[in-house]
Homo-oligomer: A and B are copies of this chain.
Amino acid sequence: MSETRRTEAFSDGVLAIAITLLVLDLRVPVRGALEGSLAEALGHEWPTYAAYVTSFLLIGIIWVNHHAVFELLGAVDRIALFLNLLLLMTVAAIPFATSLFAEYLTAGGAAARTAALVYSGLFLLMSVTFALLYAYVARRPALLAASVDPVAMRASIVRFSVVGLALYSLTMVIAVFSAPATLVAHIVIALYYCFRQTRAVS
Spell out A's residues near B (CB within 8 Å).
1-6, 9-10, 12-24, 26, 28, 31, 34, 37-39, 42, 52-53, 56-57, 60, 63-64, 67, 74-78, 81-82, 85, 88-89, 92-93, 95-96, 99-100, 103-104, 107, 110-111, 114-115, 118, 194-195, 198-202
Q: Are A34 and B96 in contact (CB under 8 A)?
A: no
Q: Are B114 and A38 in contact (CB under 8 A)?
A: yes
Q: Are A107 and B31 in contact (CB under 8 A)?
A: yes
Number of copies: 4
Residues of B within 8 A of A96 (CB): 23, 26, 28
Q: Are A28 and B78 in contact (CB under 8 A)?
A: no
Please measure, in the bound complex, the distance between the C-alpha atom of A36 and the C-alpha atom of B120, giving whole angstroms: 22
Q: Are B18 and A199 in contact (CB under 8 A)?
A: no
* B77, B88, B103, B202: the one within 8 Å of A31 (CB): B103
Most B C-beta atoms less than 10 A away, residue of A77, A96, A104: A96
